[in-house]
Structure 1
């Protein structure tokens, strides 16, 4: 039986959650329909009026927050958290000084020098800010440096923050409040890009891969937020060490690997975007694209460790067929596939006595998301094939195929703050995807695997949870 969310926690519904009837809810990630029993509806009345006060309320709160239908709000802490701030660093004394100066000073700080070429400069910076210093004689990468820190701290909560971050105010203290939940292993803030007013900087502020947006989430593979970076992360040391800590063999993607192992162990990981940490980004396209290439190389070793957790594209059959038919300029086939998708969903809903309003609109959204996902997948991992088709296709089909290339970046530009014009934003996004995809291919060749290249078919369009609340 799942451990209830503790007394004192409140929950807030996710913006995407819809109550179809008083006892029937839709939302979450992945999307599902949840039907509450009479006991579940009574437990919701408790949660709607205030914090968890009963076992039934705690059980429902856990179910809702695990499904992504709602998010936990921890009680206000009664005392300062007992935690240590850890800053791994490799050279960069100026960045380290800036990071340490941003901390509020209420928690002890441990700096781990991961085999820097100039250790004296780092030691001087750490001493000037009252931080303890541990030096590794041989560079082992960020995972190894964090493992060294875990062996040197005594507090059960550890706040990791990278040396190129700025973490002002009580950011770690605010995140530490979430650990009133005994199942929680880690919680991450929103990482906002700090970049200069160059074209690359403006693009990064709008599309940083470290910025996971403004919606809170449970972090788990296959959900809207499948990972969080360790640029800034507060962890429960006992949970992380029990899971095997960071894999020192991974120079990139070690944070994703840890999050997925914590999930597999039954622990919870949360994303809390109401807390912000700044991250200094590359000022040039060369620096930005080189980093994206490095990130891409992590896909292959992650796929070898977690083959069921990583898919570059998830396709639902009927929306996928609709998109394929539209790109092939087969309107009759597209209409048939779209109609079949609608009818299939209607059948599922009626079989479970669920209101069927909005099915056509929801199917249209699924087709749109499939088109955008297929476009980004093609740009990242099959750009030469797409370009070959573009050069040989007729004018009409060329326009349809070009939508795969231009649709995702233009859609992202429209949703962004539009600080950068659409032409430069689109060019940057395409270069970003190509650099990441090149890294994925390089990693696949090095590790002799094709798992990060293979789309996955999701045969069940909607999860229906009729168990309610016990």
Structure 2
């Protein structure tokens, strides 16, 4: 059971800065940004406090505004790193990885910031019991109970306020903990997570260049609040800094996959904040053989059904308003009369949004509304393409087998999605390798997703939902 967060506000001196992608309008009194995208009008007092793009908390009003900006994703903490983070226990779950464990422990000892910290290794039933160097506490499960249980065992013996979880196939980069530790100055932050990057010098396979730019554990280059149906919906448990008192019973030991997603979602549902900090980085040794990589991707997909049983629509692969879905259906398959109807629906949506955005006595912001609708349509188009090629590819394949026109459409979507995904990384990987690896990634994940849903006899992980209000 997750406890409720404390009622304390952000402390004085806590600073936040607007996300560089947040746009200021109307002389700085309106903010556009966040995830999901939102338009926020500042009250006069709030606009005065946020006279620049950086706000330092000095009173309850500033704390309340900073908290609202953080929760909306319009701003992020802007705090100096802690050069000597204290009050942290490092917990490492491991099973049958002696070389990787030795490499991780050596990295912790070599970093002046983590060398003094207590380290607990939880041996989850390794064939050869773990023998750790002096100063490292080892706890052993007689048989394998899974990573969630191993982390909970370490969590139970920690006596410090904070616990850093590190998987044995990780190597934290210098300064990682000092960049995460300041986030916990916010009394409502339960978890802060770093960016997971590829491990230099690790064995490489055919998919390694793709993993380097589109890793399943890499949440991207931008800091963010973490919550379902947002730009960063979860954090991988490969590396996490957690507030011990916030986790309650800890990870759900019945889950052998997606236990990290489940924990984050239970925390946010209880009112805690979870932060992603990409300036902090932990390297991870990704699977090198292509077959192993594909099995791992399919394994991740099976977790969606488990999440659906616990969190319902939060795990939906497609979040879309009915009018947006109708617009795309008319534009793509509406024929001679449907496409004009789709354009008319777009115009109606734009006019309705413009009326909602209008201020008394001011012109209706038609251009702003049109831009927002265009952005939403483009984002929903990408989501639909991902649905066709990833989450619902078995349905798309069945339709394509029955119709030549559908085959051409599915092929066009698959190629277009691959090109859109490759373009931001065009200097690091070729389009063919990226495109083939992306399709293999999607086929494996989608197969695991459907297998998990069939095994659970629960289709909720496959169903689209409306966006939350």
TM-score between the two structures when normalised by the length of structure 1:
0.90
Give 3-state SS (helix, strand or coil) of 1:298's partner. helix
- 1 CA distance for matches of 2:336 and 2:36? 30
> What are the ranges of 5 or more consecutive residues in structure 2 without an aligned counterpart?
1-5, 360-364
How far did residue 362 of structure 1 move?
A: 3.2
Give 3-state SS (helix, strand or coil) of 1:427's partner.
Answer: helix
Distance 1:317 1:335, change over 3 A: farther
Partner residue of 1:227 out of 216, 231, 234 = 234
User: May I ask how many residue pairs the two structures share in their alignment?
Assistant: 451
Q: Are positions 1:178 and 2:183 aligned together?
A: yes
Match of 2:375 among 362, 365, 371: 365
| Cα distance between partner residues in 1 of 2:300 and 2:321 | 27
Partner of 2:242, secondary structure, is strand
Structure 1 residue aligned with 2:243: 236
Q: Per-residue displacement from partner, 1:402-461 (whole Å, max 9, x unpaired)?
A: 222222222111112443322222111111111111111111122110000101133x8x
Q: TM-score, normalised by structure 2?
A: 0.90
Does the C-alpha gap of structure 1 residues 2 and 19 become closer, same or farther in structure 2, counting only changes over 3 Å? farther
Q: Contact 1:25–1:35 (CA<8 Å) still a contact in 2?
A: yes
Matches within 5 A, 1:170-209: 170-194=175-199, 196-209=203-216
With over 3 angstroms needed to count, the CA separation of the structure-2 counterparts of 1:300 and 1:117, relative to structure 1, is: same
Q: Residue 394 of structure 1: CA displacement? A: 4.6
Does the aligned pair in 2 maintain the 1:312–1:454 contact within 8 Å? yes
For the residue of structure 2 that corresponds to 1:456, the secondary structure is: coil
Q: Is residue 281 from structure 1 mapped to residue 286 from structure 2 by the alignment?
A: yes
Q: Could you tell me how far apart the structure 2 residues matched to 1:117 and 1:54 are?
A: 56
RMSD: 2.2
Q: Distance in 1 between matches of 2:53 and 2:376?
A: 31
1:155 matched to which residue of 2? Answer: 160
Q: Give the deviation of 1:335 after TM superposition.
A: 4.0
- 1:288 Cα deviation after fit: 0.8
Deviation at 1:367, TM superposition (A): 2.4
CA contact (8 A) 2:205 2:290 kept: no
Choose the corresponding residue for 2:430, options 411, 421, 429: 421
User: Which residue in 2 is equivalent to 1:405?
Assistant: 414
Q: Tell whether the 8 Å contact from 1:71 to 1:217 is kept in structure 2 after alignment.
A: yes
Change (3 A) 1:99 1:3: same
SS at match of 2:267: helix
- Partner in structure 1 of residue 3 of structure 2: none
| Greater relative contact order (Cα < 8 A, sep 6+) | 1
Q: CA deviation at 1:256?
A: 0.6
Question: 1:58-457, aligned counterparts within 5 Å?
Answer: 58-74=63-79, 77=82, 80-103=85-108, 104=111, 105-119=115-129, 122-123=130-131, 126-127=132-133, 130-194=135-199, 196-241=203-248, 244-328=249-333, 330=335, 332-353=337-358, 355-394=365-404, 398-457=407-466
1:310: Cα distance to partner? 1.3
1:226-284 CA deviation, whole Å, 9 max, x = no partner?
1001100000001112xx31110001111111101111111110000011110001112
The 8 Å contact of residues 4 and 60 in structure 1, kept in 2 or not, is answered as: no
Quick check: 2:327–2:345 contact (8 Å CA) kept in 1? no
Q: 1:150 to 1:368 in 2, by over 3 A?
A: same
* Bigger mean CA deviation after superposition, 361-370 or 98-107: 361-370
